[in-house]
Amino acid sequence: MVASRWTAAAPARTAAPRRRGAVLEQAILDAALEQLGTVGWSGLTMEGVAAAAQTGKAAVYRRWPSKVDLVADALRAALPSFEGAPDLGGVREDLLALCARMRAAMYSRTGFALRSVLHECDTATAERFHDVIFRGLIEPSVKLIKEVVHRGIERGEVRSDGTADYVCDVIPAMLMYRSKVCGSEWRDEDFEALIDQVMVPLLRP
């Protein structure tokens, strides 16, 4: 029997578009971050990331020669940006707003992944992530704290040497210490105690 010329032809299967360049790199970084959240540092493999990103493992290795390099870039790319210090009219209020912003970064999916990586890694491997922590969290936070304190100096709220490095290191140091060593979740009242009992007396003229 001859098929009717009106019989519809089966639709041709179209291949998924091949990703290249920045689009593919972002897919790999997203997959690495997702794998960190599901299988952790120990379970993450370059092959698993490639499969999750729907690409070949050669495409991953061409860009990142090791798991450490890949994870460091994935974390660095996903950390929230710290731009523009709050200006609420007073040092106390501005520092509290900054603390809330730092907490959000530490307890974001990326911040949680970073802390999980550090807990699972051996000491030598953890050192490789020092740059991610310092440049992605600590350095931007201290820069904004100094900006807030400097405005306080100009208003006469803060003593003239309030932007000294050790003074402005107190908040990020306390956040890291109490989160890692004490398991503190940093409630709003904890931030208020830190600012009112430590920072305000320390900065007072």
Domain ranges of the chain: 21-74, 91-203
pLDDT band of residue 37 (cuts 50, 70, 90) is confident
| CA distance linking residue 33 with residue 44, whole number of Å | 10
| 194 in Cβ contact with 179 (< 8 Å) | no
pLDDT at 1 over 60: no
Q: Six-digit token pair at 87?
A: 């200006």
The confidence score (pLDDT) of residue 158 equals 96
The confidence score (pLDDT) of residue 14 equals 44
The confidence score (pLDDT) of residue 17 equals 55
Q: Six-digit token pair at 91?
A: 């040092």
pLDDT tens digits for 55-78? 999 999 999 999 999 999 999 888
pTM as predicted:
0.76
Domain 91-203 part of CATH 1.10.357: yes
- A 10 A CB-CB count for 51 gives 14
Query: Residue 119 — φ and ψ, nearest 5°?
Result: -70, -30
CATH value of 21-74 in 1.10.10.60, 3.40.50.720, 2.30.40.10, 1.25.10.10 = 1.10.10.60
pLDDT band of residue 5 (cuts 50, 70, 90) is very low
SS3 131: helix
Ranking 17-26, 54-63, 195-204 by mean pLDDT, the lowest is 17-26
| CA distance linking residue 111 with residue 130, whole number of Å | 14
Query: Is 205 or 37 the better-scoring residue by pLDDT?
Result: 205
pLDDT at 161 over 90: yes
Query: Is 99 or 2 the better-scoring residue by pLDDT?
Result: 99
pLDDT band of residue 205 (cuts 50, 70, 90) is very high
pLDDT at 9 over 90: no
